[in-house]
Amino acid sequence: MNILIIGSFMMDLVVRTPRVPKNGETIIGTSFNRFPGGKGANQAVAASRLGGQVTMVGKVGNDTFGDEMIEALLSNHVETSNILRDDTYSTGIGSITLDERGNNRIIVVPGANLKFTLSELQEVEELIKNADILLVQFEMDDKVIERAVSIADFYGVPVMVNPAPAHKVSDEFLSKITYLTPNETEAEILTGIKVQDMEGAKRAGRILIEKGVDNVIMTLAEKGALLLTETESTHIPGFQVIPKDTVAAGDAFNGALAVQITKGISLVEGIMFANAAGALTVTKEGAIPSLPKEKEVKELMEKSDAFKIIE
């Protein structure tokens, strides 16, 4: 279960407020917290807590936030020896506003994340070659991500891409992806198809399959996820929970799914597990602090009736 994650680190600066202010308006928030996060780091910790053997590659600043990020990963048994430090650029930060319903608005300042270079990537080619799965996102330099995916494709290593924050990509890039995990908004950006209902989700997913993606797993928030392949279209329902903070729910899903894939679990069963991990994450505050452990996920699955698969 050797999971290699090449991705980002963000110190999340979280303000909780009764509602998001209107343009030009000042309102009184209810709390402020600081949590280590970033899609790459979140997914690494999620996968490790759920039983995966995880190595993380990326770059942080040579600063206090960078120290805290590496310590957070080490304390969760993630291999960190290939995380680089940058003396010029600071560790990335995410400015997050949460309303009382748990909805979030996020501004990301990538900092050192964007300074990981192609030559530095070349130094970890052996790690990619020997991985059981490579998991990447879009919070690093596009050329680095594209090259990492190409290296994995060359060596026959399965590639999972979480296309966030989403932007248009080439068909050539899509054709090298084994598992693509967009949410509804990201699927719309990738395909131009409005995803407002299940039929729209299926249309967008089919376009991505036609462009060469092997498996599209579209996350649908509380509605669960939609799995599309050349021959299959399966809706896997979500788990009903009371949301407190939706930050990192998608990252928990991706980390959980990567673990299940490396265990040889079927995609449908793996997505059920990932749905449960994402659901548990929204019941707690913060990114890394909210990520569940394997025992919690299994307990939720055992007591839930969300096992009916809808074709």
Nearest to 181 by CA among 168, 192, 172, 190: 190
In-domain check, residue 94: no
For residue 130, what pLDDT band results from cuts at 50, 70 and 90?
very high
Query: Is residue 246 within 8 Å of 103, Cβ to Cβ?
Result: yes
| Sign of CA pseudo-dihedral 48, 73, 40, 302 | positive
Mean pLDDT is lowest, of 264-268, 285-289, 297-301, for 285-289
Residues 6 or more apart from 272 whose CB is under 8 A from it? 236, 301, 306, 307
For residue 245, what pLDDT band results from cuts at 50, 70 and 90?
confident
Average pLDDT over residues 129-145: 97
DSSP H or E segment with residue 30: none
Whether a cis peptide bond, with omega within 30° of 0, leads into 36 is no
Separation CA 99–CA 165 (nearest Å): 21
Residue 103 has pLDDT above 90, yes or no: no
In-domain check, residue 202: yes
For residue 104, what pLDDT band results from cuts at 50, 70 and 90?
confident
For residue 309, what pLDDT band results from cuts at 50, 70 and 90?
very low
Q: What is the CATH number of the domain that holds 153?
A: 3.40.1190.20
Two tokens, residue 121: 């990537």
What are 23-60's pLDDT values in tens digits? 999 999 999 989 899 999 999 999 999 999 999 999 99
Residue 3 has pLDDT above 80, yes or no: yes
Two tokens, residue 58: 């990326």
Q: Which residues in the chain belong to E strands, given as ranges?
A: 2-6, 10-16, 31-37, 53-61, 83-86, 92-98, 104-109, 133-136, 159-161, 179-180, 215-219, 225-228, 233-236
Separation CA 114–CA 131 (nearest Å): 23
User: Residue 25: its pLDDT value, please?
Assistant: 94
How many other CB atoms sit within 10 Å of the CB of residue 185?
A: 12
For residue 305, what pLDDT band results from cuts at 50, 70 and 90?
low
Judged by phi (left if over 0) then psi (alpha if -120 to 50, else beta), residue 58 lies in left
Residue 72 has pLDDT above 90, yes or no: yes
DSSP state of 140: S
pTM for the predicted model, two decimal places = 0.91
Query: Is residue 125 within 8 Å of 118, Cβ to Cβ?
Result: no
In-domain check, residue 189: yes
User: Residue 92: its pLDDT value, please?
Assistant: 96
99 is catalytic: no
What are 106-121's pLDDT values in tens digits? 888 999 999 999 999 9
In-domain check, residue 8: no
Domain extent, residue 130, equals: 40-57+116-303
State the Rg of the chain over Cα: 18
Bigger pLDDT: 89 or 103?
89
Residue 20 has pLDDT above 80, yes or no: yes
Give the CA angle between residues 249, 110, 280 to the nearest 5°: 10
In-domain check, residue 206: yes
Bigger pLDDT: 303 or 217?
217
User: Residue 243: its pLDDT value, please?
Assistant: 86
Average pLDDT over residues 53-77: 97
Separation CA 44–CA 66 (nearest Å): 16
In-domain check, residue 195: yes
Residue 310 has pLDDT above 60, yes or no: no
Q: What is the mean pLDDT of the chain?
A: 94
In-domain check, residue 293: yes
Residues 6 or more apart from 188 whose CB is under 8 A from it? 194, 195, 204
Out of 141, 214, 251, 305, the active site residue is: 251
* Count of domains for the chain: 1
DSSP state of 250: H
In-domain check, residue 28: no
Nearest to 245 by CA among 17, 11, 7, 43: 17
- 67 to 75, 184, 291: CA distances (angstroms): 12, 34, 20
What are 294-304's pLDDT values in tens digits? 999 999 998 87
